[in-house]
Chain A
C-alpha cells in the first residue's frame, strides 16, 4: 500500500477547472486567499492523483472555508482540530492524499498542540498555513503571529504577546518539510504548493497572506517592489544564499555560529553559505532571519525523508497479521483460561 496518494496510474488528465467546486467563494474582495485558491487549483493536476482520492480538511477561520471551494472530498471541522482529524483519516485511509488548510490562529493558537503532534509524528499530510497575522473571521483581534505592540480591537494599547515564528515552531516540532511562500508571488507559490504536496510526510508550508480588511500590507516588506528586491532571499538547494539588487548584491554567511550579511563581492567563495534542504540545523538558523537586518528567506527551508506515522503503524498491523494470521474473535473469546459448566447448577 503506497502512502503517496495511490491511484496515479488511473489518473485522468485534469485542468484547473476540474478542481473548482460549484460553491460561491465568500472571502472579502481583495483577500489574499483568492490567489492561494487559484494557485492550488492550478497545481492539482500536477499531482496526477484522481480527484476522488484527494481530501481537504480544515478547522475554523477564513482560511478554513477553503475545502468548500475545491471540487474534491472536503471536511470543514472545528477550530484548531484539522491536524487531528487528518491523522485519524490517514490512519483509516492511507490511500488518500490529505491536505490540511489552516491559519495562524487556527493552526498556531487554538490548534497549536495538534500542529505540534501532527508534525512530530510525521503524518503524511500537506499543511497549508495561511499567515495573515490577524484574526479575520472574528473581525480583527491580534493573532499569535501578530507583532508585539499590535494595536487591535482587543489590544487598544498594543498586544503584550511576543509573536511565534511558524517556521521555527515547525522545525522545532521536527517537521520533515518546511517551506514559505507569498500570496502575491503566484509562480513561486505554485512551485511551493507542488513541492509540499509531493513531500512524503508532514509538509508545513507557511503562506504569507494579505488580509486587506483587518491587517492590510502586513507583508509589505515582500509586496513593495523595491523592498522585495532588497530583502527577498530565494532559497534554492545547492545555491549560495545571495540576495539584493544586482548593484547591491549581498550574501548571508556564518561568522562563528552567527549568521551575518556581507557584500557579496567581499565574501570568498569558500565562505558562502550554500543552501542544503537536508540540513535541518541550517534551516533553523534561516527560519529566524527577517528584514531589515537580514533578508527574508522564501522557498524550501528543509525537506528530509523519514518514516511516516501511519506507515509504521500499518507495517505493525501487517506484521501482526502475517505472524499470527488475521484476528478471529471466536478464537479469542475461547482463548486462555476457560471452564465448562455442563448442566444447571454445575
Chain B
C-alpha cells in the first residue's frame, strides 16, 4: 500500500482547544496598547465570543521609551466556546517596537502570526532593546513565523496628513492602525470602537476623525495585504515522537513538489499568475531553483497552465496553481491536457466566491468545478488535503498519479489550509512511494495512443527521441494511432476510455480509515480543510456515548472503492461542507444514500460546536 495513502497525518493527535485564538498587543508604554487590547476585547465580545484577558504593563506611569522594562502588553483569548484563560502561547503577536519583540517573541507559537511596526526598528530603539542587528532583517524570523512587516507609522501619517494635528498627536494614533489591522485579521466588527471614538473624543473632532480614519486605514490595509488569520488551531496532546517543524499548507504543497522533483529526477515547470491565496506557492518555489524547479510568472492564468502543459509535452512535470477564478480561466487548457493525455498538476487554493468574492476568506465550493467545470466530458483526478501538513503528501501524490496515468490531477486546498500552520512530523522522503517515470524510446511498434493495460496510460515520449516523431493535439483522435478522427464510434470509445483511466486510479486508494465504530447510527463524511472541526465534533459525540464515526476523503475523484460499502453500514450520513452541498450531492448520486448536508458558507472554517449540534439533532431524530 502506498505510503501517501496512509491515514491523514495528524489523525493520531488528540484534539482539544478548538476555535479560539490568543492575541497579544505589545509596545512601548506610550503606544496605547492597553486601550487597543480593551477595544479588541469589546469587539470580540460584540462578535459573540467568550473572552479572557491579561493586561500587563510597567509599574512606572511613564517608563523610559523603548526600553525592555517599558514594554506594555495586552493579551486576550477569544473563542466560540467557553474560554477559561487568557491562553499560554500566542497565535498572534503585534510588536510595535524592538523592545516589545524582544520581550514577547518567545511566547509566539512557531508558525504564528507576527505583525511588526517596522518604523520603530531604528538604530536607537534597537540599541535600547539590546539588538546588535535588526531582527526584522533576519530571514529566520520569516521562516519561523508568518511575518508581516508593516510601516504603521508612515501609513498612519499618510491616512491623516491633511488633518490639523501636530506630528506627535498624529503618530500617537497608530495604535488604532494596529487595532484596525488585527480586527480585519480576526473578522472583528469595527462598530464598537467607532462608537467609542465618537463618544470619547466628542469634544475634539480632529482627534476623533484621526482615530477613525487610522482605524479604517489599518482595516483596509489588512484587506489589501490579504493577511489570513488562523481561526482556530488544532492542539496536539499526544504527539508521536520524531523531529517536528511548523508547516503551512502552501509551503507544504511547494515542498511536496520539490520532493517529487527529486524522487522522479525530473524538472518541474510551475506556471502561475499571482492570485490570493495561491501566490505564496509561486514565491516559495522560486526560492528553490536548486531543485530544478522552473517558475514562470505568466501573463495570465491561461498562459500559466499552458506553459505547464508545454513543459509536460517536453517531458518535465507541468504544474500550475491558482484559486477558483483562475481555475475557471484554465478550464479549456485542462481539457487539452485531458485529451492530449499529458501529466498536469493543478492546485486550486479555494477562496470564497463567486467572482472575486472574498479573496482572503476560505470556502470549499469548487468541488463541482473540479469535477465538471470544463466543456464536454473531461474527467480528471481530484485530491484534497486534510491538514496543512497533509498538503505535502497530496502534492507528491498528485505528481505520482499524473505521471503514472498521463492525465491532469486537481488538488483542492483552501485559504484556511494554505495559511494555517501545524506542527508537522518531518517524514523520511525515501519512504514515499517511488515516482518511476518511463519515457518511451523504442520506435518499434510505437503509436502515440498505445495504452498500458493496467493504467490505460499512453506512452510519454520526450521530443528529441529519434524515430518517435509524432503530432498530438486537441482534436479527437483515433485510439492507438492518434490520428485525427471524427468517427462516431471512436469518439464514444475515447470518451469512455478517458473516464475509465480516471476510474482506474481507484487502485491507488487504500482502505478508508474509519474514526469510530465500523457500523452504527451515524457516519460523518468530510473532505479538505474541515478535518479538524469535524474530528473534534465527532470525538466529542463519541465521548458522550453516541454511535458516531467519521471518515475524511482525500480522493474525491475517483472515490475510494470501499466507500459505497462503508456508507451502508450506518443508519444516517452527515456531510459537513463549506458550500451549499456539493460532496453530499455526489454521494447521493453515486451511491443512492440519503446523506444530508451540514452547510455554512460564511468564508470561515466550520465550527465544531455547530457540527456537534447537527450530529446531536440527526441522532435525536434517529432515536
Cβ of A220 < 8 Å from any Cβ of B? no
With both chains docked as a complex, state the minimum distance between the C-beta of B283 and any C-beta of chain A, in angstroms: 15
A88 touches B269 (CB 8 A): yes
Known A-B contacts A68-B484, A76-B475; the reply to A336 vs B314 at CB < 8 A is: no
> A169 to chain B: closest CB distance in Å?
15
Contact B426 A91 (CB under 8 A): no
A316 at the interface (CB under 8 A from B): yes
A344 to B435, CA, bound (A): 33
A292 contacts partner chain B, Cβ-Cβ < 8 Å: no
Chain B residues positioned under 8 Å from A70 (CB to CB)? 471
Chain A residue nearest in CB terms to B463: A73
The B contact surface, by secondary structure, is: mixed
Please tell me the number of chain A residues within 8 Å of chain B, measured between CB atoms. 65
Of chain B, the residue at the smallest CB distance from A26 is B484
Q: Is the CB of B307 within 8 A of A342?
A: no
B471 touches A91 (CB 8 A): no
Closest residue of chain A to B139, judged by CB?
A336
Could you tell me which residues of chain B, from 294 to 340, have a CB within 8 Å of some CB in chain A? 294, 296, 298-300, 302-303, 306-316, 318, 332-333, 336, 340
Chain A contact residues, majority secondary structure: mixed
Cβ-based interface call for B368 (8 A) = no
Give A344 to B236 CA distance when docked, in angstroms.
Answer: 11
How many chain B residues sit at the interface, stated as a range, is: 35 or more
> What B residues does A330 contact at CB under 8 A?
428-430
Instruction: Answer yes or no: B134 CB below 8 A from chain A CBs.
Output: no
Question: Are A53 and B463 in touch, CB under 8 angstroms?
Answer: yes
Q: Are B239 and A78 in contact (CB under 8 A)?
A: no
Give the segment of A109-117, A204-212, A263-271 that binds chain B.
A109-117
In chain A, what residue has the closest Cβ to B291? A327
B498 CB, min distance to chain A CBs, angstroms: 17
Q: Are A89 and B310 in contact (CB under 8 A)?
A: yes
Report the Cα distance A188→B214, complex, angstroms: 68
Of A81, A89, A95, A340, most buried by chain B (CB within 10 Å of CB) is A89
Structural contact, A327 and B309, CB atoms closer than 8 A: no
Answer yes or no: B466 CB below 8 A from chain A CBs. yes
CA distance A113 to B329 in the complex (A): 14
In the complex, the answer to whether B242 meets A113 with C-beta atoms within 8 Å is no
Q: How far is the CB of A323 from chain B (nearest CB, A)?
A: 9
User: Do B472 and A96 touch (CB < 8 A)?
Assistant: no
Bitwise, B331-360 to A at CB < 8 A (1) or not (0) is 011001000100000000000000000000
Among A51, A57, A72, A74: residue with most chain B CB under 10 A:
A74
- Please determine whether B429 and A327 come into contact, CB atoms closer than 8 angstroms: no
If A67-B471, A73-B470 touch, does A337 touch B306 (CB 8 Å cutoff)?
no
Interface centre among A72, A78, A86 (most CB of B within 10 A): A78
A329-B262, A334-B426 given; A114·B303 CB < 8 A: yes
CA of A77 to CA of B338, assembled, Å = 12
Question: Chain B contacts of A103 at CB under 8 A?
Answer: none
Contact residue among B143, B429, B462 (Cβ-Cβ distance under 8 Å from A336):
B143
Bound CA–CA A52/B465 (angstroms):
6
Please tell me if B540 contacts chain A, counting CB pairs below 8 Å. Answer: no
- Name the 4 nearest CB pairs between A and B, nearest first: A76-B473, A88-B310, A88-B307, A327-B291
A–B complex contacts, Cβ < 8 Å, 10 sampled: A52-B467, A76-B473, A81-B303, A88-B307, A88-B310, A88-B318, A117-B299, A313-B294, A336-B144, A337-B245
| 20 additional contacts (CB under 8 A) given A70-B471, A92-B312, A96-B314 | A52-B467, A76-B472, A77-B306, A77-B309, A81-B302, A84-B302, A84-B303, A84-B307, A87-B298, A88-B306, A89-B310, A89-B313, A91-B294, A92-B316, A95-B464, A116-B299, A326-B290, A329-B259, A338-B244, A339-B245
B-side residues, CB < 8 A to A, are 110, 140, 143-144, 237-246, 255, 258-259, 261-262, 267, 269, 271, 288-292, 294, 296, 298-300, 302-303, 306-316, 318, 332-333, 336, 340, 426-430, 462-475, 483-484
